[in-house]
Amino acid sequence: MKNLRTPIKVIIDTDPGVDDAFAILYALNRPEFEVLGITSIFGNAGIDLCTRNALALLELAGRTDIPVARGLANPLGKSLAEWEEIRQRFPRGAMNVHGDNGLGGAELPEPQVQPIDLPAMDFILETVKRYPGEIVLVPLGRLTNVAAAIIKDRATMEKLAGICLMGGTVRAPGNSTAVAEANIYGDPDAADLVMTLDVPKVMVGLDVTMKAIFHEADTQRLKSFNTKQGNFLVECSRHYDAFYRHHNPHLDGFSIHDVLPFTYLLHPELFEVKDAYVRVETRGRFTTGQTVADLRAFAKDKPNCTVCLDVDHRAVIEDFLETMSKSK
């Protein structure tokens, strides 16, 4: 993704989510980004709660001028009833990670603004039509809204400046299955369709996000800034941190996954990348949701995605903390 003018016009597609909260507040505090809107998607919580959390985070940041468009409630190709039946097999799902309210149990006031009437996929399409060739779409959750927009109007979606997504994994273990990352696993059909879109794409997956670990010393630094936004992130991360320490004690902290697509857009030099042909396994018995990247030197298919393989993880954390030290 080259020659992006600053401020970079972005649409954030998100399912807030503790790490989504970190990412949204980071983006809002960087003058290099012009956030044109937020579209909600199911994932870390149901669609109603994710939409509410997006609105509440914007109010926390004093940015109620940014519209929020409500997205889809279930994966591509599945009815809401089918999706609810699947969810019943995993009664708590992402709540184990992100808490009952999606934000680690940290409370924000009920938002005073409401989502706009336009559905998420239509908001994306209308905004791309308004700024052809200028918008980077930053999906932080399932790719269902993005895929729905492609199905409705592929030609307009191919006028995006690019897509920089958090999702997938190539070398690192999955976090939903042995090989699948949660956002891709949550709607593999949508993710595979997005990989066919003819725009620059960057996959910022577990290969790098699981290296960007926020330690207790980092949490204390964030707390020391004594800003409203920083204090909220400290509070909402406690449940998330406890989950990580129980399931991944060797990390000694938690990942700020969703921040990294924004870091990449500002500081691509911090990342080791490789262009590759990437598709998503949609029907594998053991591999559904796997992002299959052909990294061979003699690969026959033309690369369709830039894959992040390594990162200067401390630089990512320091950049985040420096940004939030200036927040309100």
Which residues are marked as active site? 257
Dist. CA 74–CA 144, nearest whole Å: 8
CA 66, chain centre distance (Å): 18
Residues in the chain, overall count = 328
CB atoms within 10 A of CB 114: 11
The C-alpha angle 118, 140, 178, rounded to 5 degrees, equals 135
E strands, the chain, where? 8-14, 33-40, 68-69, 135-139, 162-166, 201-204, 213-214, 254-255, 271-280, 291-294, 305-311
Dist. CA 204–CA 142, nearest whole Å: 14
